[in-house]
Chains A and B, each alone.
Chain A
Amino acid sequence: MSLMDYSKVLSKKTCNIKPSGIRKFFDLLETMQGVISLTVGQPDFPTPWHVRDAGIFSLEKGYTYYTSNAGTLELRREISKYLSRRFDIEYDPKTEITVTVGGSEAIDIAIRAIIEEGDEVIVPEPSFVCYGPIVSLAGGKAVPLETVEEDGFKLTAERLKSAITDKTKMLVLPFPNNPTGAVMTRRELEKIAEVIRNTNIIVLSDEIYGELTYNGRHTSFASIDGMHERTILTSGFSKAYSMTGWRLGYVCAPREITEQMLKIHQYAIMCAPTTSQLAAIEALKNGDGDIEMMKAEYDRRRRYIVDGLRDCGIPCFEPDGAFYVFPKVGVFGLSSEEFCERLLYEYNVAIVPGTAFGECGEGYARVSYAYSVKHITKALEQIKLFTEKLRQEQQQ
């Protein structure tokens, strides 16, 4: 018998964090065999060969040392050029860009550099699951702000106004959005900017899916008039260049903020992996074509899966970004979790309940299309059988 009383030693803040609802569903999945999964949050393309080759070459040359804390200057310069080339935003590679271990670390240090005990952070939901827990660890309070299908799951100025209090210190802007696929246009972002222009609110703009915007170009919040000075932009290589396992991202912010984030980064991380950094330079220099190729492929699958789900009688909002659709599975009278569990147990297809991304995700489910068309087709056939059965049950 252990003599250790862990309840007395473990951090209360950490213990109070709820495990992610996505994780819960994945654990369920692992107990089953032969499941057709539409759950992953990562691209199915391998990293483009020229990028992998650059990583391999760097190892052959023996580039296996730490880089400077903020990342190699060459990579920061390339990031700066890339952001200017693709999104018309200017960041100084020397003082405003930090290379991180994935977009996740970027989000972490951004929140920790800003949030103190009692601060409120507005988090539009449904959204990715990491913001709330990181805010809690920093002593802040995440304030979920519902977005709804009628607004295309976008954040509106009215909703934002209603959530702002004198404790609000940060607004998270998770667009293009995981799980809904919603995208905010320049006009819509300008309205958000209007609301916060005369406040002291910092915007954490998580633009990791920025390159996966299907109707028109992605607008970075930092490019909106007057917003550069109050925006912390986080992004990375995972989604744009299909480099999830390389764990490489970056965070861009005014010098004053970057200096503080860099302290956290250097004490906690030292520097992002050198091999990944050197491969990323190749991606930025010669990878624009890869982005376009992958985006075109996702776009075709996106249309295909939306049609397929609608054909099953599931209303499906047409997403403009990322690689997820967020169908309204609630029309069959089941909760999201019931729908997803029955689909899994009875028809061997896995999708993630919308509630994993916030309470307001009830009635919806996240379906990833980062899969081959053949795989998606198989899954759709099963979903069709399931919905037919549900309709029969409803009639009885």
Chain B
Amino acid sequence: MNDILKLLEKDAHLTPEMISSMLKKETGDIKKYIDECEKDGTIVGYQAIIDWDKTDREYVTALIELKITPQRELGFDRVAEKIYNYPEVQSLYLMSGGFDLAVIIEGKTMRQVAFFVAEKLAPMESVVSTATHFVLRKYKDKGFIYGEGEIDMRDECL
């Protein structure tokens, strides 16, 4: 069944009917499996990957490193929850190495992001330090290369 998830991870557009053809499995079984995965959170969501630089939308992305003091019995989970509940937070990872949490934030302007760090993240009790890195350009995200359209460069040849 991981086959189904791998296909959807690459292209969420695929319908159960298409997957059924590709994998030679019953459409009904595939529908049921996808339903289950959506219910139990194996499939977390679906979205399009958008190169906003091709639009007039203004936005910045920043990666913020946080050092955290873990809380007794709760470890990092409690503080993580406090952070990910902010809608500005796109992604949040617990990391090994020199810092503890990696927060990816999207905002309209650098100022807005800086404000969020200064006002919301830094003052949290268990946050020891923050380091903010702004993304200058996205080259590739989730397996997709930015800037490339769907151009078929193949010529018709014998």
Whether the Cβ atoms of B158 and A130 lie closer than 8 Å is yes
Whether the Cβ atoms of B18 and A20 lie closer than 8 Å is no
In angstroms, Cα B24 to Cα A159, docked, is 34
**A308: nearest residue on chain B (CB-CB)?**
B21
CB-CB contacts below 8 Å: A304-344 with B: 304, 306-308
CB-CB contacts below 8 Å: B32-51 with A: none
Given A373-B14, A374-B13, A304 and B22 contact (CB-CB distance below 8 Å): yes
Cβ proximity bits A117-134 to B, threshold 8 Å, 1 near / 0 not = 000000000000110000
| B119 in the interface (beta carbon within 8 A) | no
Whether the Cβ atoms of A42 and B157 lie closer than 8 Å is yes
Contacts of A377 in B (CB 8 A): 18
| A22 in the interface (beta carbon within 8 A) | yes
Main secondary structure of the interface of B (DSSP, over half): loop
Task: Among A22, A42, A303, A374, point to the contact of B24 (Cβ < 8 A).
Answer: A303
Main secondary structure of the interface of A (DSSP, over half): helix
Whether the Cβ atoms of B158 and A23 lie closer than 8 Å is yes
Contacts of A130 in B (CB 8 A): 158
Interface size class of A (residues with CB under 8 A): 20 to 34
In angstroms, Cα B83 to Cα A167, docked, is 83
Contacts of A129 in B (CB 8 A): 158
**B22: nearest residue on chain A (CB-CB)?**
A300
Distance (Å) between the CB of A74 and the closest chain B CB? 29
| A205 in the interface (beta carbon within 8 A) | no
Task: Among A40, A308, A374, point to the contact of B154 (Cβ < 8 A).
Answer: A40
Distance (Å) between the CB of B12 and the closest chain A CB? 12
| A82 in the interface (beta carbon within 8 A) | no
Whether the Cβ atoms of B154 and A42 lie closer than 8 Å is yes
CB-CB contacts below 8 Å: B114-153 with A: 150, 152
| B56 in the interface (beta carbon within 8 A) | no
| B94 in the interface (beta carbon within 8 A) | no
**A-B contacts, 20 listed (Cβ < 8 Å):** A20-B158, A26-B156, A26-B157, A30-B156, A37-B156, A39-B156, A40-B157, A42-B154, A44-B152, A300-B7, A300-B23, A301-B22, A303-B21, A303-B22, A303-B24, A304-B21, A307-B21, A372-B150, A373-B22, A377-B18
**Residues of A in contact with B (beta carbons under 8 Å apart):** 20, 22-23, 26, 29-30, 37, 39-42, 44, 129-130, 300-301, 303-304, 306-308, 372-374, 377
**Residues of B in contact with A (beta carbons under 8 Å apart):** 7, 11, 13-14, 18, 21-24, 150, 152, 154, 156-158
